[in-house]
Amino acid sequence: MQTAQRIIKGYRRRRFIVCAAMAVLVLFLTLSVRYIAERNLNEQRVQGFNERAIITIENILAPLDEVSADVTRLVGMPCEAALLRMREHVARMQTLRSITLIKDGVLYCSSIFGSRNVPVSQLQPRLPDSSPLLLLSTDSSLLKGSPILVSWHPLADGSQNGVMEIVNIEMLTGLMSEPERPWVSRAVLNVAGSHLEYGKGLLAQVSVNKGLVSHEMASEKFPFSIISIGPSAGDLALKNLPTQFPLALILSMLIGYITWLATANRMSFSWEINLGLASREFEVFCQPLLNARNQQCVGVELLLRWNNPRQGWISPEVFIPLAEQQNLIAPLTRFVLDEAVRHLDMFPKSRDFHIGVNVAASHFHNGEIIGDLKRYWFPSNAIQPLMLELTERDALPDVDHRVVRALHRLGVSLAIDDFGTGQSSLAYLETLSPDVLKIDKSFTAAIGTDAVNSTVTDIIIALAQRLGIDLVAEGVETPEQAEYLRNHGVDILQGYLFARPMPLKEFPRWLEGRSPPPPHHNGHAVPVIPLH
């Protein structure tokens, strides 16, 4: 069986574990949420950088289509006639370095050099082409070796005629692709398989160092893409996570404290008792009381047992005091009364057979016990008398004497249980007017062994006889104890010598095999225990 200290310690341990688990869970969830939020924000920043770079380049390249639409009409005209118009366009667009006219694959007019006669394939091997092209290349005429962006616009007649526009790509990369640290450490413009990185010029290929990741985004309007290279969003978020720890720790401690308060009732012995009552885990046992002279069963004391599926068997010496501390003794008493009424058929239908129920003094406050008896006991019209057994664990002088008198008027007997071990006072024997004193088993066990307690037992017996109060001896375990009590005038005995507590359903079988019915006198049963 469990001890009170072990049960309470177990509840506190489980409660602490739950609160600690909640705190750790909240800490983990808070840091996880912050990590995910920070990671997503970093990804959005990288994506935003790529989008801004693409929009910048698209805004620069968009006017080139308008310029080419105007300049293509000049193809075939003498260079002197077209030159002024071409230079006006270059002057108006800061990013445009030059415009050239190509006829039959020959560059014959440049906005910078004027008339020329150079096959365009010598300058750009991929030109002329029948389709519009966007190329990354190096300048071989003005600023030799510098990167340029070539925009090729062929005429629609399928010939080798067209317009080639040279964009100042270094200025362009300065406008759109300066890295945004720490999210973007490198930015690369990709056009037709060629790569231009900010600050490094043209690259044959793009390499990504260990620990870094790349994100590529393509333009929907022009044939180019942007690659941004930098630490992964997760690594950046993880690196920034320690700054979120203080707030997460405070939040987790707050949730842990709230959980501690919230579980005060649910993870406590009071909650366990309420759950046990709701689940009908309690079971009522009975222990017979026998006449010391003829060994006839004259009543039973109803005892509560608890086979807790979570804790195992819990002794009444454990859960009864705890229930009293938690103000739950009254619900347990109601349960016993309800079970007694439900099993009345198992007891002899005789007024010479009483049913004893243990009650606490706190149940007497404001007449609560009378209300419960009127609700559970009296509607059953039980023939058997009811005896309420008050334990001396409670402050018996605090019992409302008006309630005691009302009980007597209702025909309910009153017994003081475990007499001599608790808050004994000779004064309240008169004020409570008990019908029965139950001698505690510790005094019964001392018979023949302990001179002091044996003397106290004799004093209790003499006191009860002097006051006209009936006696019941508890804990009778040997024939010598039974003989001693019988010789000293104790009429009713209870203990393992006669019967151990048993489930209610076993009582009829025990009673049937115990002894014949009590003798009759003039057709009426002879009372074997006087009840006032």
Does the residue 101 lie in any domain?
Answer: no
Strand 354-359 and strand 297-308: the pairing is parallel
Instruction: Over range 241-266, report the average pLDDT.
Output: 82
Does the residue 327 lie in any domain?
Answer: yes
CB atoms within 10 A of CB 207: 10
- Number of separate domains in the chain: 1
Express each pLDDT in 119-158 by its tens digit: 998 888 888 988 899 988 877 776 676 788 899 999 987 7
Instruction: For residue 466, give its domain range.
Output: 268-515
pLDDT at 171: 63
pLDDT at 393: 57
pLDDT surpasses 60 at 312: yes
Strand 186-191 and strand 524-525: the pairing is unpaired
pLDDT surpasses 70 at 507: yes
Strand order in the sheet with 201-203: 201-203, 194-197, 186-191, 225-231, 212-218
pLDDT band at 186 (very low <50, low <70, confident <90, very high): confident
pLDDT at 274: 74
Does the residue 424 lie in any domain?
Answer: yes
Does the residue 492 lie in any domain?
Answer: yes
Residue 138 has, within 13 A of its CA and on its CB side, a CA count of 8
Does the residue 446 lie in any domain?
Answer: yes
Express each pLDDT in 286-306 by its tens digit: 999 999 999 999 999 999 998
pLDDT band at 422 (very low <50, low <70, confident <90, very high): low
- Distance from chain centroid for Cα 250: 18
pLDDT surpasses 80 at 273: no
Question: What is the rounded CA–CA span in Å between residue 164 and residue 155?
Answer: 11
Instruction: Over range 520-532, report the average pLDDT.
Output: 36
Which token pair is 307? 């086979």
pLDDT at 532: 33
- Phi/psi region, residue 523 (left: phi>0; alpha: psi -120 to 50; beta: rest), is left
Express each pLDDT in 348-379 by its tens digit: 999 999 999 999 888 888 889 999 999 999 99
pLDDT at 473: 94
The values of phi and psi at residue 201, to 5°, are 80, -160
Q: How large a percentage of the chain has pLDDT more than 70?
A: 86
Residue 372 has, within 13 A of its CA and on its CB side, a CA count of 22
Residue with tokens 């602490």: 16
Residue with tokens 């003829």: 294
Express each pLDDT in 76-128 by its tens digit: 899 999 999 999 998 888 778 889 999 999 999 999 899 999 999 888 888 89
Q: Mean pLDDT across the chain, nearest whole number?
A: 83
Find the CATH number of the domain harbouring 422. Answer: 3.20.20.450
Does the residue 151 lie in any domain?
Answer: no
Window from 134-138, 172-176, 343-347 with minimum mean pLDDT: 172-176
pLDDT surpasses 50 at 530: no
Does the residue 491 lie in any domain?
Answer: yes
Does the residue 53 lie in any domain?
Answer: no
